[in-house]
Amino acid sequence: MVAVRHIELPEQQLSQTFLVFSSHGANSDERALKTILVDHKPSLVGVAQNPDVIVKLIKPRKWHDRVKMLWRHSRLHKEVDGNYLLRNLGFRVPNILETGNGFSALIGRPFLGYYLMENLHRAGFAEAKPLFIDQQLNNQQLDDKQQADKRAVILQQIIAGLKTLRDQRVVFSDFHLDNVLVDADDNLAWIDTGVTYYQWYRGHKFKEKFNFSIERFIRYYSADFFTATEQQQLRELLL
């Protein structure tokens, strides 16, 4: 029997119906959106009434995003499948509790689908990006040496993770520091896992896409965001 779920966005006076295709016992408090964290072109992300749960609603960016829902090639499926793939490769990723498709996704409803996932902030994780920008991480004041040491540890873990993806012919095409969280012990978690696996016979395309993703990551921020040494370390990943 197919389950039907309703998700409401009180702040926007909007609700939408979804067909659930995977659930691990999520309840109504985990689907009810309490606070919107991010609302931009690709998606809307918020905290549920149950603060341990994050709700992510995927938006269509172009008309063909709706068509891709028909054969599981949408960004919704890509992120969910990528989450499972990275978990199987040993990455820490948020647990996914439920996923659903937009009812009549081809019609002009605002969201293609949604998924509920573990709120990693409640598990002790925080954004890694501030360490590369200022003197604060996890609300701790760091001196220059401590910041440099933490930055080096985190970057080496990122590089190790990207190397694992490279060795498994996986491309995290839109990777940037917002995709990485860190806890007090410098353990990483990876989010927004829109990755692509390339079969061996697509080796040329994999090389092209992987190298582009690394160069894009280096250029994502200002020219001096990464030091020359850090840029060299990242470019050593290139094929």
Residue 9 or 77, more confident: 77
Nearest to 234 by CA among 56, 57, 220: 220
The full set of domains in the chain, from first to last, is 3-122 (3.30.200.20), 124-235 (1.10.510.10)
pLDDT on residue 136: 45
Tell me: the pLDDT tens digits for 133-160? Answer: 754 444 455 566 666 788 899 999 999 9
pLDDT on residue 147: 63
Q: What is the mean pLDDT of residues 105-116?
A: 78
Helix (H), strand (E) at residue 190: strand 188-190
Query: What are the distances in angstroms from CA 128 to CA 153, 165, 166, 188?
Result: 11, 20, 22, 8
Task: State how far the Cα of 215 lies from the Cα of 62, in Å rounded to an integer.
Answer: 26
Residue 31 or 167, more confident: 167
Tell me: the pLDDT tens digits for 157-195? Answer: 999 999 999 999 999 988 999 999 999 999 999 999 989
Q: What is the mean pLDDT of residues 97-104?
A: 81
pLDDT on residue 203: 94
- Predicted structure pTM score: 0.86
Answer yes or no: are the C-beta atoms of 81 and 70 closer than 8 Å: no
pLDDT on residue 138: 44
User: Considering the chain, what is the average pLDDT of its residues?
Assistant: 86
Task: State how far the Cα of 34 lies from the Cα of 15, in Å rounded to an integer.
Answer: 13
**Of the ranges 45-49, 54-58, 95-99, 130-134, which one carries the lowest mean pLDDT score?**
130-134
Q: What is the DSSP letter of 127?
A: E
- Give the rounded percent of residues in the chain with a pLDDT score beyond 90: 54
